[in-house]
Structure 1
Amino acid sequence: MAPSQLASDTGSESGGEWPSSLSSSPEPSFPATPASCSPRLKAKPQAIQRVCEAPLDSPASCHDFAPLPSIPSTEPLQPLSTDSQTPDHWIARDSRMIRLTGKHPCNVEAPLSALFNAGFLTPQNLFYVRSHGDTPRISVKQAQEWKLRIHGLVEREIEFSIQELKDKFQVVTLPVTLVCAGNRRKEQNMVLKGLGFNWGAAGVSTGLFTGVYLADILDYCKPRNPLLSSYPPCDQRIPGRARHVIFEGADELPKGKYGTSQRLSWALDRSKGMLICWGLNGEDLSPDHGYPLRLVVPGQIGGRMVKWLKRIEISDRESQHHLHFFDNKLLPTTVTADQARKEDKWWYDPKYIINELNVNAAICLPSHNDTIQLASGTSTMQVLAVEGYAYTGGGRRITRVEVTLDDGETWRLCDIRYPEDLYRMYPVGKHPYYGNIDLTMTDMSFSWCFWKVEVDVKSILVNRNAGFIAVRAMDEALSIMPRDMYWNATSMMNSWWFRVAIYKENNGHSLRFEHPTVPGNANGGWMQRMNEAGVNPSSQSMLMEKVRLLGSSSTDMYMMGRVFWRLTLVENNLFV
Structure 2
Amino acid sequence: MMIAPRRLTVVLRHPNSRPATASFVCRPCIRLRAKNLHQTTARANSTQPPSRHSPGSNTRPRTARVAPLGLLVGGGLVASYLAITQHTNDDSAEACKVKPLASGDDRDPSLPRFRLKDVRQHDAASGKPWVTYEDKVYDITDWIAAHPGGDVILRAAGASIEPYWNIFSIHKSTHVREILDQYLIGFIEVADLVNGRPAVEQIEDPFKEDPARDPRLISHTVKPRNAEPPNEELDREFQTPNGLFYVRNHMWVPVIEESKVGEHGLTIELPDGETRTYTLAELKERFPTHKVTAVLQCSGNRRNDMTRHAGKTNGLQWGVSAISNAEWEGVRLADVLADAGLKVADATSTTQSLVSGNPSPNSLHVQLTGLEAYGSSIPLSKALDPSGDVLLAFGMNGQTLPRDHGYPLRAVVPGTVAARSVKWLSKIVVSDEESPSQWQRRDYKSFGPNEGPSPDWDRAVSIQEMPVTSAITGVWVGDCVRKGRVAWLSGARSQHGGGKQDGGIVDVGGVERKVGFTPQDRANNAKEEAPHNTKETSAEPVAVQGYAYSGGGRGIARVDISLDGGKTWDQAELLDDCSKPGACFGNKNWTWRRWRYLGQLSELSLPVSSSGTTADNDCESSTPNNSKDLRTKKHCTTLVVKATDDAYNAQPESHAAIFNARGNLATAWHRVRICPKCTTNGDGKGVVWSTGETYGCGFKKEAEAVRDEMAMLRSSAPPEGPGSKSGSALAGVSISVSAGGKD
Compute the TM-score of the two structures, normalised by the length of structure 2: 0.53
Aligned residues of 2:367 and 2:377 also touching (Cα < 8 A): yes
Q: Counterparts of 2:430 and 2:542 in 1: how far apart (Å)?
A: 54
Aligned residues of 1:110 and 1:127 also touching (Cα < 8 A): yes
Q: Counterparts of 2:733 and 2:313 in 1: how far apart (Å)?
A: 28
**CA gap 1:132/1:569 in 2 versus in 1, 3 angstroms:** closer
1:518 offset after TM fit, Å?
4.5
**CA gap 1:480/1:571 in 2 versus in 1, 3 angstroms:** closer
RMSD: 3.8
Which of 368, 376, 382 is 1:248 aligned to?
Answer: 368
The residue that corresponds to 2:701 in the other structure is 525
Q: Counterparts of 2:383 and 2:307 in 1: how far apart (Å)?
A: 35
**CA gap 1:360/1:462 in 2 versus in 1, 3 angstroms:** farther
Say whether residues 1:358 and 2:474 are aligned partners.
no
1:378-417 equivalence runs, <5 A: 382-417=540-575
The residue that corresponds to 1:55 in the other structure is none
Aligned partner of residue 247 in structure 2, secondary structure: coil
The residue that corresponds to 2:261 in the other structure is 143
Aligned residues of 1:150 and 1:311 also touching (Cα < 8 A): yes
More helix by share: 2
* CA offset digits 1:189-213 (Å, max 9, x no partner): 2342211121011111111100011
**CA gap 1:310/1:377 in 2 versus in 1, 3 angstroms:** same
1:496 offset after TM fit, Å?
1.1
**CA gap 1:106/1:566 in 2 versus in 1, 3 angstroms:** closer
Supply the AA of the counterpart residue of 2:533.
S
1:566 offset after TM fit, Å?
7.5
Supply the AA of the counterpart residue of 2:674.
I
Supply the AA of the counterpart residue of 1:262.
I
The residue that corresponds to 1:514 in the other structure is 694
Q: Counterparts of 1:230 and 1:148 in 2: how far apart (Å)?
A: 31
The residue that corresponds to 1:538 in the other structure is none
Q: Counterparts of 1:466 and 1:566 in 2: how far apart (Å)?
A: 15
Aligned residues of 2:565 and 2:640 also touching (Cα < 8 A): yes
The residue that corresponds to 1:215 in the other structure is 334
Aligned partner of residue 387 in structure 2, secondary structure: helix
Which of 672, 676, 698 is 1:500 aligned to?
Answer: 672
Q: Counterparts of 2:208 and 2:709 in 1: how far apart (Å)?
A: 41
The residue that corresponds to 1:38 in the other structure is none
Aligned residues of 2:481 and 2:541 also touching (Cα < 8 A): no
Which of 223, 247, 250 is 1:129 aligned to?
Answer: 247
Query: Is the radius of gyration larger for structure 1 or structure 2?
Result: 2
Say whether residues 1:318 and 2:318 are aligned partners.
no
1:19-168 equivalence runs, <5 A: 86-90=205-209, 91-101=211-221, 103-117=222-236, 119-153=237-271, 157-168=275-286
Aligned residues of 2:344 and 2:358 also touching (Cα < 8 A): no
Aligned residues of 1:219 and 1:268 also touching (Cα < 8 A): no
Q: Counterparts of 1:230 and 1:479 in 2: how far apart (Å)?
A: 29
1:502 offset after TM fit, Å?
2.2
1:398 offset after TM fit, Å?
0.4
Aligned partner of residue 303 in structure 1, secondary structure: helix
Aligned residues of 1:472 and 1:497 also touching (Cα < 8 A): yes
Pick 1 or 2: higher relative contact order, CA cutoff 8 A, min separation 6.
Answer: 1
Q: Counterparts of 2:605 and 2:425 in 1: how far apart (Å)?
A: 51
Aligned residues of 2:231 and 2:474 also touching (Cα < 8 A): no
Q: Counterparts of 2:736 and 2:405 in 1: how far apart (Å)?
A: 45
Q: Counterparts of 1:473 and 1:320 in 2: how far apart (Å)?
A: 35
Which of 481, 491, 499 is 2:663 aligned to?
Answer: 491
The residue that corresponds to 2:577 in the other structure is 419
Supply the AA of the counterpart residue of 2:697.
T
The residue that corresponds to 1:452 in the other structure is 596
**CA gap 1:262/1:566 in 2 versus in 1, 3 angstroms:** closer
Identical pairs, percent: 29
Compare 296-305 and 563-572 and name the one that shifted more. Answer: 563-572
Supply the AA of the counterpart residue of 2:675.
Y
1:468 offset after TM fit, Å?
0.5
Supply the AA of the counterpart residue of 1:482.
P
Supply the AA of the counterpart residue of 1:491.
G
Supply the AA of the counterpart residue of 1:181.
S
Say whether residues 1:266 and 2:436 are aligned partners.
no
Aligned residues of 1:136 and 1:250 also touching (Cα < 8 A): no
Aligned partner of residue 95 in structure 1, secondary structure: coil
> Which residues of structure 1 form unaligned runs of 5+?
1-81, 232-237, 341-345, 429-436, 536-546
* CA offset digits 1:219-253 (Å, max 9, x no partner): 3234345595899xxxxxx997763333333343x
Supply the AA of the counterpart residue of 1:286.
P
Q: Count matched residues.
A: 436
Q: Counterparts of 2:416 and 2:703 in 1: how far apart (Å)?
A: 28
The residue that corresponds to 1:471 in the other structure is 641
Aligned partner of residue 88 in structure 1, secondary structure: coil
Aligned residues of 2:267 and 2:278 also touching (Cα < 8 A): yes
Which of 285, 299, 306 is 1:181 aligned to?
Answer: 299
1:506 offset after TM fit, Å?
4.1
The residue that corresponds to 1:303 in the other structure is 419
**CA gap 1:186/1:407 in 2 versus in 1, 3 angstroms:** same
**CA gap 1:184/1:207 in 2 versus in 1, 3 angstroms:** same
Compute the TM-score of the two structures, normalised by the length of structure 1: 0.67
Supply the AA of the counterpart residue of 1:321.
S
Q: Counterparts of 2:476 and 2:248 in 1: how far apart (Å)?
A: 24
Aligned partner of residue 648 in structure 2, secondary structure: coil
Aligned residues of 1:516 and 1:527 also touching (Cα < 8 A): no
**CA gap 1:534/1:136 in 2 versus in 1, 3 angstroms:** farther
